[in-house]
Amino acid sequence: MLNKDHPRYQSLVYREKIVEAHENGILADSGMIAHGRGETFDYLIGEKTTPNSQNTIDVAACYFLTRKHPVLSVNGNTTALVSEDIAKLSELLDIPVEINLYYRTPERIENIERVYKDLGVKEILGTDEDDFIDTPNLNGPRSPVSIEGIKKSDLVFIPLEDGDRAEKLYDLGKDIISVDLNPLSRTAQTSTVTIVDNIVRVIPALIESVKKYENYDKTDIQEKIDLFNNKTNLNIAIKDIIKRFE
């Protein structure tokens, strides 16, 4: 049993979820390492949603509310940590969840699909083995990107995605919203909107933000989008980390 008084209690809870997902065949070995990299950056940003990330989450909500076919791409880490909130977001926006794995195996696809099925997600994509983006430059163990949903989508939400795959989506001309605690990663640098924050805080905040902006005028929502600049957002995220060191 974890001790609630432990100063790193929350962080330990998430570690347990990660370990459990690994044992349940949802998370690949490298997913555990990616989580550790995320923890480091979370420590540096103070393990809280900064005013700048809250603003970026609001911009992301506005994107979701103005696009015709957004899709929520999920991987092992996202499923390990926030599958319930992903299911809620998918229902709220009435958009599909698409399984996209860096290390794709039929077993992991099946295990992850079951998680979202059990949570009542209506449309789960990325389970068809034949339907992929042609990615000749993505070699090694890295899987291509599933396209059932992404091909038709005008907005792709990619939490914790790998840089090469993010670049591939960007090359297809898709608008990308990423969630990445590292503001310097290639994923962070190539996205339309980069939320530099922990996925465990982002999805609940995003749900609240969608509920708030749903009631706004289309012109106000568009203005929020137009005023946003991702380069500025990333620079602020980096400055916030530097401030912590000082």
State the binding site.
15, 37, 180-182, 186-187, 198-199
Closer CB to ligand ATP, 153 or 182, in the complex = 182
- Please state the closest distance from residue 80 (CB atom) to ligand ATP, in A: 9
Distance CA 72, CA 209 (A): 16
Distance CA 236, CA 147 (A): 33
- Which helix (H) or strand (E) segment is 156 a member of? strand 155-159
- Please state the closest distance from residue 157 (CB atom) to ligand ATP, in A: 13
The edge-to-edge listing of strands for the beta sheet with 193-195 is: 124-125, 97-99, 70-74, 155-159, 175-179, 193-195
End-to-end CA distance of the chain: 36
- List 148, 162, 167, 240, residue binding Mg ion (CB under 5 A): 162
DSSP lists the bridge partners of residue 179 as 159, 195
**Contact partner, 35, from ligand ATP, Mg ion, none, Cβ < 5-8 Å per class:** ligand ATP
DSSP lists the bridge partners of residue 156 as 71, 176
Distance CA 143, CA 102 (A): 5
Candidates 5-13, 49-57, 155-163, 225-233; binding stretch for Mg ion (CB under 5 A): 155-163
Distance CA 31, CA 51 (A): 28
Using rule CB under 6 A, residue 160 touches ligand ATP: yes
**Contact partner, 204, from ligand ATP, Mg ion, none, Cβ < 5-8 Å per class:** none
**Contact partner, 41, from Mg ion, ligand ATP, none, Cβ < 5-8 Å per class:** ligand ATP
- List 25, 144, 163, 204, residue binding Mg ion (CB under 5 A): 163
- Please state the closest distance from residue 195 (CB atom) to ligand ATP, in A: 8
Evaluate whether 67 touches 186 at the Cβ level (below 8 Å): no
Closest CA to 143 of 99, 81, 186, 191: 99
Using rule CB under 6 A, residue 170 touches ligand ATP: no
Candidates 30-38, 68-76, 138-146, 232-240; binding stretch for ligand ATP (CB under 6 A): 30-38
Candidates 56-64, 123-131, 159-167, 197-205; binding stretch for Mg ion (CB under 5 A): 159-167
Q: Summarize as ranges the residues that interact with ligand ATP (CB under 6 A).
A: 34-35, 37-38, 41, 77, 81, 160, 162-163, 179-182, 185-187, 198-199
